[in-house]
């Protein structure tokens, strides 16, 4: 049987088409590593998270990872826990009126119990964002009593949050307000960060926009910057915008603002236009980065020979690693999410898929450490898990001397 030249070309074309398509669809599934789990409850090593009609309460639950140790704030229990990567409870900061007496840990550091593990009583009210500094201080975003709260008429918002500072011995040092130690309370705190110089950044939100407060490691004020929609550069073809998140740089005095732009379609309805990462230099008081972010387009599992079906999901700005490397997360398929890592040139340094098993989870919070490890706290009805994905493979291979992403050893 003789094959014509035309038949051969068609056959090769079909093979190439399916080969390219299969390569395009193939993405790396990052391995989900379960580090430890904890029951839902009120004991010192348990997490208490409630739902009402399927909605979480307003109190925050947050996770922060440093050198393989995990700090978890639990607003509903008015406590902050520190765990090793094996799930050993290392320290506890707790409201004595809202929690049972610790059993696992001794109260305070004393000779009768392991001096490296202790519980510290402090009247926490509603702890939220948390950071452990390079010097070992623990910073906790907490609510103040109604008697101390203030009302900001200009921004139409209650000022009811402060940053508590505890030293590495668990002793309360001071609290941080807008003007520094002992200052005016903050409005709602969206994020709390420190950089390589241990400088502190507090990112707040109010009905009119965002405010960024930048302090020295001692808490002395350096910068206070407003970011509102009318102050953000507008794209020529867009009609409106939305600030999705603001995160500071790890090394420089710079913040990155992820902005979603929208345009008006033929039906006079808002439609997504594009996402941009803006970089704002605090020393120069100017924007020095305006970078389009990659779109997250997911092809459906329907046959695409005759019709191509695509869905676009917005990326969430999840964190920053060294480089800087920007971590974006977005839905992919079912309980699988796509993690995209982008550098300042807009180039994609890596993509991977991570699975959360959404059908069982009613709450999750995640954290990106400077090395690029993506860790998460996921809560179910009866337990909570601390997991991570080794996404640090997407960040520069060269790590500095402070890089410690191997699980810590048991004490």
Residue 23 has pLDDT above 60, yes or no: no
Structure tokens that stand for 318 in this block? 């999840």
**For residues 178-182, average pLDDT:** 97
Q: What is the pLDDT of residues 60-102, one digit of tens each?
A: 999 999 999 999 999 999 999 999 999 999 999 999 999 999 9
Answer whether 179's CB lies under 8 Å from 165's CB. no
Q: Report whether pLDDT(11) > 50.
A: no
Which residues, 6+ apart, have CB-to-CB distance to 152 below 8 Å?
Answer: 158, 159, 187, 206
pLDDT over threshold 80, residue 262: yes
Q: What distance in Å separates the CA atoms of residue 299 and residue 315, rounded to the nearest whole number?
A: 16
Highest-scoring range by mean pLDDT, 280-289, 294-303, 354-363, 396-405 = 280-289
Domain range list for the chain = 1-30+296-396, 229-292
Q: Rounded mean pLDDT of 283-305?
A: 84
Q: Which of 367, 232, 222 is nearest to 213 (CA)?
A: 222
Q: Is 58 exposed, middle or buried (0-12, 13-18, 19+ CB in 10 A)?
A: exposed
User: With 60 as the cut, is the pLDDT of residue 407 above it?
Assistant: no
| Residues 123-159 pLDDT 10s | 999 999 999 999 999 999 999 999 999 999 999 999 9
Which of the residue ranges 52-56, 100-104, 144-148, 398-402 has the most confident prediction, judged by mean pLDDT? 144-148
Distance CA 5, CA 401 (A): 62
Q: Can you tell me the distance from the alpha carbon of 408 to that of 218, in angstroms, rounded to the nearest whole number?
A: 29
**What is the per-residue DSSP string for 224-288?**
EEEE-GGGSPPPTT-SEEEEEEEEE-SSSSEEEEEEEEEEE-TTS-EEEEEEEEEEEETTTTEEE
Task: Residue 64: name the closest of 140, 135, 5 by CA.
Answer: 140
Tens digits of residue pLDDT in 219-248:
999 999 999 999 999 999 999 999 999 999
Q: Which two tokens stand for residue 4?
A: 């014509």
For residue 261, how far is the Cα from the chain centroid? 22
Span 321-340, average pLDDT? 94
d(CA 122, CA 313): 43
Q: Mean pLDDT over all residues of the chain?
A: 87
The pLDDT assigned to 333 comes to 86
DSSP 207: T
Range with the poorest average pLDDT among 70-74, 188-192, 392-396: 392-396
Indicate whether 410 pLDDT > 50.
no
- Weakest mean pLDDT among 21-30, 122-131, 199-208, 250-259: 21-30
Q: Which range, of 56-60, 174-178, 292-296, averages the lowest pLDDT?
A: 56-60
Query: Stretch 256-262: mean pLDDT, rounded?
Result: 98
CA–CA gap between residue 84 and residue 72 (Å, rounded): 11
Q: What is the largest CA-CA distance in the chain?
A: 93
251 versus 20: which is more confidently predicted? 251
* Sign, CA torsion 84/89/93/94: positive
Among 25-29, 241-245, 323-327, 373-377, the range scoring the smallest mean pLDDT is 25-29
């Amino acid at each position: 049987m003789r094959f014509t030249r035309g038949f051969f070309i068609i056959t090769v074309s079909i093979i190439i088409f399916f080969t390219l398509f299969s390569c395009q669809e193939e993405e790396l599934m990052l391995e989900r590593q379960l580090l430890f789990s904890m029951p839902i409850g009120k004991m010192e090593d348990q997490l208490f998270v409630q739902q009402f009609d399927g909605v979480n309460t307003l109190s925050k639950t947050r996770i922060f990872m440093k050198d393989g140790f995990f700090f978890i704030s639990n607003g509903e229990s008015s406590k902050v826990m520190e765990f090793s990567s094996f799930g050993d409870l290392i320290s506890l900061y707790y409201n004595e009126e809202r929690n049972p007496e610790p059993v696992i840990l001794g109260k305070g550091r004393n000779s009768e119990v392991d001096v490296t593990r202790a519980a510290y009583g402090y009247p926490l009210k509603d702890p939220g964002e948390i950071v452990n500094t390079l010097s070992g201080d623990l910073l906790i975003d907490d609510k103040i009593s109604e008697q101390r709260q203030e009302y900001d008429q200009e921004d139409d918002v209650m000022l009811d949050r402060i940053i508590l500072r505890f030293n590495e011995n668990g002793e309360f040092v001071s609290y941080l307000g807008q003007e520094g130690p002992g200052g005016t309370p903050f409005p709602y705190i969206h994020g709390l960060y420190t950089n390589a110089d241990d400088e502190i950044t507090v990112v707040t939100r109010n009905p009119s926009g965002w405010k960024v407060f930048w302090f020295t490691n001692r808490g002395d004020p350096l910068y206070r910057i407003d970011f509102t929609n009318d102050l953000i550069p507008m794209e020529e073809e867009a009609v409106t915008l939305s600030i999705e998140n603001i995160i500071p740089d790890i090394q420089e005095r710079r913040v990155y603002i992820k902005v979603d732009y929208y345009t008006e379609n033929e039906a006079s309805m808002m439609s997504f236009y594009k996402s941009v990462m803006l970089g704002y230099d605090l020393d120069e008081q100017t924007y020095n980065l305006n970078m389009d972010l990659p779109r997250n387009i997911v092809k459906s599992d329907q046959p695409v020979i005759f019709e191509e079906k695509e869905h676009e999901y917005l990326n969430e700005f999840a964190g920053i690693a060294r480089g800087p490397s920007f971590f974006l997360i977005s839905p992919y398929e079912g309980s699988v999410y796509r993690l995209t890592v982008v550098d300042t040139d807009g180039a994609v340094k890596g993509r991977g898929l991570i699975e959360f098993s959404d059908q069982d989870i009613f709450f999750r919070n995640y954290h990106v450490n400077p090395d690029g490890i993506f860790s998460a706290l996921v809560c179910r009805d009866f337990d909570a898990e601390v997991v991570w994905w080794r996404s640090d493979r997407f960040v520069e291979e060269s790590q500095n001397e402070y890089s410690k992403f191997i699980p810590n050893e048991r004490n």
